Amino acid sequence: MHTAIQVENLSRVFNRRGTAPFHALRGVSFDVSYGEIFGLLGPNGAGKTTTIKIMSTLLLPTSGRVTVAGFDVEKDYTHVRPLISLISGGETSGYGILTVEEQLWMFSQFYGMETHVARARIEEYLKVVSMWDSRRQQMNRLSTGMRQKVNLVRGLVTDPKVLFLDEPTLGVDVEASVIIRNIVRDWVREKPERSVILTTHYMAEADELCSRVAIINHGLILANAAPSQLKQDLDSRAHYEITVDRLDGEQLDHITAFMGEGNDLVLGSDKVAKSPMLVAHLMHESDIARLITALAEQGVTLEYMRKLEPTLEDAFLKMVGKRFEDEEETSPVS
Ligand SMILES: Nc1ncnc2c1ncn2[C@@H]1O[C@H](COP(=O)(O)OP(=O)(O)OP(=O)(O)O)[C@@H](O)[C@H]1O
């Protein structure tokens, strides 16, 4: 069997006092294969955490069904729990007065791990995240990045089959983020029966790690595909920015006619160089050679050229209609 997780037509309604019932999930379906890092992306309040909570047996669905490694999360939760770990970026992690080592040991015992196995894994993973020397530090004295690394170790020590990572690099510096991402990637590759569900606000992180992502908004899945596919679906043409020494409307008309239908040329200006800038959307990457020839024939000199690559953020923006940063900037401060 290749399906680690199957989510079928999941819905969740929250009854809030004094207001109408709130539909946080409205028929969410997707599956995750073994060996996969699957991303759940969406703006604040989209339903990501609710989905993860149901998948990890912390919350009951209103309707629909989720299986993890073939076990129903509602009926067979006692089978599901030993197979999973959940790490949330925002969590303060366990008991602040414990040391790193004590904390990890305590969680290993919750899972009933044998002493020698637990001790060996704790040492191994603390060394991987460069936290072995900090093992006697109290948890509540750790920086955010250090705490996140310990959280990750806590999730891995019990050798789960499915790792739920809810914003694992939230508030973490670049170096610690790279370490966390590398560990997650290596961990999945190590054994074929492992998989990861990741939510993140960092589109580049999802693009780098995930084999597939589902974009969720208002409790609905808007897309479910490989990041490369989502980017390609945006506009499969090749895009270039070309800064030139001069270009007038008449020259542009000649070049546009020469390039033919399907190739769009938009004239603007390079804000830095203060020179004219042509943005070209070409049907085929090889059309750039024809365009350069056409420019040369018009006596235009190229100053700078770069190929524009669509990003996962562009795909997200097109589907959801806003970028994460915009949303954070406009969020009311409570
Ligand atoms: N226990 C609850 N009672 C009432 N409403 C809830 C509850 N939990 C979540 N919600 C609501 O359900 C919606 C989805 O919340 P959820 O936490 O799943 O979003 P999210 O996609 O994880 O967002 P974020 O990126 O902000 O964490 C939100 O509107 C939230 O206010």
Is residue 218 within 8 A of residue 46, CB to CB? The reply is yes
**Which of the residue ranges 88-97, 171-180, 231-240 would you say has the lowest mean pLDDT?**
88-97
CA of 218 to the centre of ligand 1 (A): 10
- Give the list of residues 6+ apart from residue 80 with CB closer than 8 angstroms, or none: 57, 68, 69, 71, 73
Residue nearest to atom 8 of ligand 1 (CA): 50
The DSSP secondary-structure symbol of 64 reads E
The residue-averaged pLDDT of 157-168 equals: 93
Is residue 227 within 8 A of residue 213, CB to CB? The reply is yes
Domains of the chain, residue spans: 3-232, 236-308
CA 243/CA 221 separation, integer angstroms: 40
Residue nearest to atom 28 of ligand 1 (CA): 45
Homologous superfamily of 3-232 in CATH? P-loop containing nucleotide triphosphate hydrolases (3.40.50.300)
- Give the list of residues 6+ apart from residue 282 with CB closer than 8 angstroms, or none: 237, 238, 239, 240, 259, 263, 288, 291
- The complex's ipTM works out to 0.96
Is residue 312 within 8 A of residue 206, CB to CB? The reply is yes
Handedness of CA 81, 36, 6, 1 (dihedral sign): negative
CA of 84 to the centre of ligand 1 (A): 22
- Residue 32 tokens read as 């995750």
Closest CA to 184 of 194, 173, 175, 193: 194
Helices (H), the chain: 48-55, 77-80, 100-110, 115-128, 144-157, 174-190, 203-209, 227-234, 249-259, 287-297, 312-320, 324-330
CA of 112 to the centre of ligand 1 (A): 32
Strands 276-282 and 264-269, bridge-based pairing: antiparallel
pLDDT over 80 (residue 333) = no
17-52: per-residue pLDDT in tens? 888 899 999 999 999 999 999 999 998 899 999 999
CA 145/CA 176 separation, integer angstroms: 6
248-261: per-residue pLDDT in tens? 999 999 999 999 99
pLDDT over 90 (residue 320) = no
258-316: per-residue pLDDT in tens? 999 999 999 988 877 788 999 999 999 999 999 999 999 999 999 999 999 889 998 89
Report the residue among 49, 55, 91 best suited for mutation to probe ligand 1: largest number of ligand atoms under 8 A from its CB.
49
Residue nearest to atom 29 of ligand 1 (CA): 45
- Ligand 1 closest atom vs CA 14: 4
- Ligand 1 closest atom vs CA 47: 18
pLDDT confidence bin for 90, thresholds 50/70/90: low
pLDDT confidence bin for 83, thresholds 50/70/90: very high
CA 243/CA 311 separation, integer angstroms: 22
Is residue 34 within 8 A of residue 4, CB to CB? The reply is yes
Residue nearest to atom 27 of ligand 1 (CA): 44
Residue nearest to atom 5 of ligand 1 (CA): 14
Residue nearest to atom 3 of ligand 1 (CA): 14
SS (H, E, C) 247-304: CCHHHHHHHHHHHCCCCEEEEEECCCCCCEEEEEEECCCCHHHHHHHHHHHCCCCEEE
CA of 290 to the centre of ligand 1 (A): 52
- Residue 96 tokens read as 């602040």
Which residues contact ligand 1 via a Cβ below 6 A? 14, 16, 22, 24, 42, 44-50
219-228: per-residue pLDDT in tens? 999 999 999 9
Class of domain 236-308: alpha beta
The residue-averaged pLDDT of 225-235 equals: 90
Is residue 159 within 8 A of residue 194, CB to CB? The reply is no
- Residue 25's alpha-carbon distances to 103, 223, 262, in angstroms, are 34, 15, 40
Is residue 56 within 8 A of residue 229, CB to CB? The reply is no
Identify the residue whose tokens are 């959801």. Answer: 320
Closest CA to 25 of 57, 64, 56, 66: 64
CA of 54 to the centre of ligand 1 (A): 12
| pLDDT: which is higher, 65 or 322 | 65
CA of 12 to the centre of ligand 1 (A): 10
Closest CA to 13 of 4, 28, 23, 27: 23
CA of 22 to the centre of ligand 1 (A): 10
Is residue 162 within 8 A of residue 84, CB to CB? The reply is yes
pLDDT confidence bin for 92, thresholds 50/70/90: low
The structure's pTM equals 0.83
- Ligand 1 closest atom vs CA 52: 18
Is residue 287 within 8 A of residue 259, CB to CB? The reply is yes
- Residue 320 tokens read as 């959801």
